[in-house]
Structure 1
Amino acid sequence: MAPPPHPPAILLLLRFLICSSILLLTESALTLDYYSVSCPRFAQIVQDAVTDKQITNPTTAAATLRVFFHDCFPNGCDGSVLLSPTPFNPSPERTSDINLSLPGDAFDLLVRAKTALELACPGVVSCSDILAEAARDLVTMVGGPYYPVYLGRRDSHISKASLVDPFLPRSNMTVSQLIDLFASRGFSVQEMVALLGAHTVGFSHCKEFATGIYDYSKSSSYDPSYNPRFAQGLQKACANYKQDSTVSVFNDIMSPNKFDNLYYQNLPKGLGLLASDRAIYIDPRTRPYVEAYAADQARFFRDFAAAIQKLSLYGIKTGRKGEIRRRCDAVN
């Protein structure tokens, strides 16, 4: 019997393309059960670390949420903000001016979670997945909404301060600047206002808003968009901020450790801490969303969950585009 004829070149090419596509899909797909076989206790290990740390340090939730945003928003959720300086990379993202004040509680939490996961399933779980899962667990733990976290991210090899400075929102930005910045990352005005609701927990250092409460103008020592009593209280609380850069104030003075919609309810009363907070109530493009979230916490929770889940998938690295770090603060 004669041997079967060799398949034509076009068929070989088609087979190659199909196999390549399957490989690409396998490498790039994030799933809710990504670690179900390779690290079945992943969710429980992260939850245990989160619970222990939040009970010991109640500011951990806000700290981790902030680090998560600062990791994802500039260049994608890839753990690049977690890398420490080295002689080969003396200026990673953590050294940029805006990231110098990132809270240590979040980094400590990630060290604890990563250590426990490496003992249970070494070389399997990425630091970027740990950060995404921990942020969600902490939002839920302090009263916020639950949302599914898709897993399978890889950690970046690259982290440069110069790549983040232009792409993170500042407390003194105008609403137009904020809208443009969020739009550059694919977020609508509504999604932006929902994400700013994360200010319902945590605190800000006095230097972030000092220009609004001291020597504001010839006619007023503080920005008139502040509630007068609130501004006077801030002046007293921050009186020593030039000598002590760690002096800070809660973003939401009504329920600082609870994830709720009081952040939005505070804004019409002049109780927004940062200039950008107060601005989104004043500007007609953002005010309708502020009013809607102030009136309906369920709507805020629903929109926040959708927006932060979208953020968690921004710019991710999968397959061969990244690595599974052995330590979260250093590339392998």
Structure 2
Amino acid sequence: MTVLARLPAEQNAPQKKRGRSKLLPYLLLLPGGLWLLIFFAVPALQLAATSLYDPSGSLEQGYAMTWAFGNYADALSQYWPHFVRSLVYAGIATLLCLLLGYPLAYAIAQKATRFKNLMLVCVIAPFFTSFLVRTLAWKTILSDNGWVVGVLRDLHILGADGRLLATPAAVVLGLTYNFLPFMVLPLYASLDRLDGRLLEASNDLYASPIRTFAKVTLPLSMPGVVAGTLLTFIPAAGDYINAELLGTPKEYMIGNVIDSAFLVRLDYPQAAALSFLLMAAILAIVFVYVRRAGTDEVL
């Protein structure tokens, strides 16, 4: 009788263990989920509500919820050039980061043996300095009396009165420099996983280096390309520091307009509407890009 009484308890033990193992992933996700809920979802909902406030209100008198969807149309009609400028600047900077970052990531992953760790440290070294300080450094580098402008004038690429600072080129260069590591690191992670035997097999089949790159290396590194372009384009489109320090109001991006609406003009409904329009535009571009890229693996 004692043995028979123990059997049900012993049979239920594996079921309890399986139940706990099923709950474990959800328990591990709970801290991150709560963090996103408290610090992202709730503020996003509050921002969405702010974008529908009565635009005739003020900070002193308060705002009334009037479901003013016209705030979106008004914001877009007034500041659509800034949206276009932001997307264009971010797109050019992302392309430059890809052209500069891919060879660098390939060299680190496939060619650098003993110096791989050192080169990776050099890639992330700018993160040891404030984003603001790095941008201010570029303001000095691109100044009218700097060596860069001097060399370009000597080569007659720039005229005698030509300049780089306070131009669209300066803003794009600043974006490219500041977000280049975000491109290099995903590319390196993808290229470092390449099986060298595939490249050797391509050479054994008499494929040229260009054909090997086009048919083997690039397709296998596409997850890194997709991840790098997303990590570069998304923050670059919303950036405002580079346009503020390296450009003029003619080069201002939508981030500068949002910053001014929130902190200078105190027009919270318009600022919130602009923020949501920027978020919607980026989400639409990312969705189309990922679908066109033909890969769901971005890490």
| Range class of TM-score, shorter chain | under 0.3
Question: What TM-score results when the alignment is normalised by the length of structure 2?
Answer: 0.27
**What TM-score do the two structures reach when normalised by structure 1?**
0.25
Which is greater in Rg? 2
